[in-house]
Structure 1
Amino acid sequence: MSAAAFLEKVAGVLEERGHAYGAADAAFEAIAARWSITLGRPVSAAQVVLCMIDLKLVRLSHDPGHEDSLIDVIGYAALFSEVCR
């Protein structure tokens, strides 16, 4: 699959998840609030995105051919700019 076609696939997944879970910035803010309670220290939405990318990179290191993890890494990276506004 070409890079452009793969990016289109990622865009489709982002759109589907947006419909399912709502706006990414709000979702990551909510996750950050929960993680802040769990960890007992402030966690930002941007840190949540970076940690999710790290999680997916670890999974990819275990199985480099796992397409869903690669889609998620690219998707989280694309959403990072929305979260950092």
Structure 2
Amino acid sequence: MTRSAILDRAAQVLDARAETYGPAAASFTAVAARWSLTLGRTITPAEVVLCMIDLKMVRFAHDPHHRDSLVDVIGYAALLPEVQS
């Protein structure tokens, strides 16, 4: 798969998720609020994105040929500027 194809696939996934779940910033803000309660400290939406990237990196390390994990890492990284304050 070429880099252009991987980037195009990541963009398609982001568009599909936005259509299904709404704006990424709102979703990550909601997750941050829940994780803040669970962990007993304030979690930011940007920290949620970074943790999701870490999760996907663990999965990608387990199977470096699993393209969905690579696409997800790229997608989360692309969303990081949207949630940074």
TM-score when normalising by structure 2: 0.96
Query: CA RMSD, aligned part only?
Result: 0.8
AA matched with 2:14: L
Q: Give the number of aligned pairs.
A: 85
Instruction: Give unpaired runs (5+ residues) of structure 2.
Output: none
Q: Within 1, Cα distance between the matches of 2:7 and 2:74?
A: 8
Q: Within 2, Cα distance between the matches of 1:39 and 1:52?
A: 16
Q: CA deviation at 1:74?
A: 0.3
Q: Within 1, Cα distance between the matches of 2:73 and 2:38?
A: 24
Give matches, 1:1-85, under 5 Å.
Answer: 1-85=1-85
Instruction: Give unpaired runs (5+ residues) of structure 1.
Output: none
TM-score when normalising by structure 1: 0.96
% identical equivalent positions: 60
Q: Tell me the secondary structure at the aligned position of residue 42 of structure 2.
A: coil
Structure 1 runs, 4 residues or longer, greater than 3 Å off:
none
